[in-house]
Amino acid sequence: MRQYSERMSRLTGSAIRQIMKLMSDPEIISLGGGNPDPESFPVEKIREITDQLLREKPTQMLQYGVTNGYLPLREAALEHLFRPKNIQADLENVIPFTGSTQGIYMILDMFIDPGTPVLIENPTFLGTLNVIKKLGAKIIPVEMDGDGMLMDDLEAKIKAHQPRLLYTIPTFQNPTGRTLPLERRKRIAELAAEYDVIVIEDDPYGDVRIKGTPLPPIKSFDTAENVILMNSFSKIIAPGLRVGAAVGAADLIQQMEKVKQGLDTHTASLPQAICAEFLMRGLLPDHLRTITAIYGERLDAMLQGLERYFPADADFTRPEGGLFVWVQLPGIKNTGKLLERAISECKVAFVPGTPFFLEETQGLDTLRLNFSSSTPQQIDTALQRLGGLIQEEYNK
């Protein structure tokens, strides 16, 4: 018998990755993943940048690098990503990592002992939820409404549990697409300062804004240096590069560096340098305009399809960006079962809502739809088929 560590028994693996395995059939229209549109990857620009980097800096690109990150990327992230969002920070406050998955993991690892109280949105991003579970935290869900976490409940739970950490995705949340309003952002920073809670502000979608006015991150209101903002290049350039960067208090960044030494020594230099060049050449704003124009059409197709083909009592979010729409279907008892029929009978996939919740009994009538990786036509077809199936279930 292999004897794994006790924490491995708490690791469930990603339900979404399991579902994705079922979908090898190329005829299936998938509204299930969370992938950016591959057609929109800036392939030519990346090729040109890569050629130049390998010509001009071959040793730096291929030799071991430093753990605290490729300096031009740290500078570029400050100049192009963090300071324009009103975040006061310097080089000592920035560390790149291997996808924000790694950055989030490092912070969780730094603060969670078995039984450590941690606050989360419920539902929340499954990847992070699984790590928090694995580390054995005492997980405390905060109540949400259509705009995200409720501040009264947050404060009550902070007082009751004295949590060390709060994990939040304030903009175009995964899975719900919800965005936390300005006043609540300020309030979170205030509460974090007052009760000494570390806030992990996970923001892979904030720059994927299709319409509406950008909101300042919670980090921009952080007077007590308790908020650490996680940025990712996955959704704004390409996820296969596996690059993200955090901005936070210098002591936190130093601790992350120590943890990172034992994880991967440093994030691969070439992808870090590609992201840095992309920013320094000023390519990001145009690229964001291109992808958000594409995603805007897809989001419209999704919202129209939901109106047209889903039952009148279906409740769904209307995000102004990101990748996801969240749907609640009061007439469906178990969207996991619906998925089995949807795949086999309609060749349509989505993600049932339950795995994003803390308890397996929650969110049984919810599902997450992704609009970034299918064309408007595919989205319309998929929702028409799915809507028909849901009507059948409603009529049973």
Ligand X SMILES: Cc1ncc(COP(=O)(O)O)c(C=O)c1O
By the criterion CB under 6 A, which residues form the site for ligand X? 34, 99-101, 125, 127, 169, 174, 202, 204, 232, 234, 239, 244
Nearest to 157 by CA among 170, 172, 142: 142
Nearest to 302 by CA among 272, 282, 322, 283: 322
Q: Nearest 5°: CA angle at 202, between 44 and 6?
A: 110
The distance of closest approach from Cβ of residue 50 to ligand X in the complex, given in angstroms and rounded to an integer, is 20
Nearer to ligand X (CB atom), residue 101 or residue 272 = 101
Nearer to ligand X (CB atom), residue 239 or residue 321 = 239
Nearer to ligand X (CB atom), residue 173 or residue 335 = 173
Q: Which residues contact 328 (CB under 8 A, 6 or more apart)?
A: 314, 315, 316, 353, 365, 366
Nearer to ligand X (CB atom), residue 34 or residue 336 = 34
Q: In whole angstroms, what separates CA 52 from the centre of its chain? A: 31
**Which position's Cβ is nearest ligand X?**
99
Nearer to ligand X (CB atom), residue 200 or residue 346 = 200
Query: Are the C-beta atoms of 309 and 387 separated by less than 8 Å?
Result: yes
Nearer to ligand X (CB atom), residue 219 or residue 381 = 219
Ramachandran region of residue 322, left (φ > 0), alpha (ψ -120 to 50) or beta? left
The distance of closest approach from Cβ of residue 239 to ligand X in the complex, given in angstroms and rounded to an integer, is 5
The distance of closest approach from Cβ of residue 88 to ligand X in the complex, given in angstroms and rounded to an integer, is 24
Nearer to ligand X (CB atom), residue 140 or residue 169 = 169
Question: Angle, nearest 10°, between helix axes 250-263 and 99-111?
Answer: 110
For the chain, report the end-to-end CA distance as a whole number of angstroms.
48
Nearer to ligand X (CB atom), residue 314 or residue 327 = 327
The distance of closest approach from Cβ of residue 203 to ligand X in the complex, given in angstroms and rounded to an integer, is 8
The distance of closest approach from Cβ of residue 160 to ligand X in the complex, given in angstroms and rounded to an integer, is 26
The distance of closest approach from Cβ of residue 206 to ligand X in the complex, given in angstroms and rounded to an integer, is 11
The distance of closest approach from Cβ of residue 202 to ligand X in the complex, given in angstroms and rounded to an integer, is 5
The distance of closest approach from Cβ of residue 215 to ligand X in the complex, given in angstroms and rounded to an integer, is 16
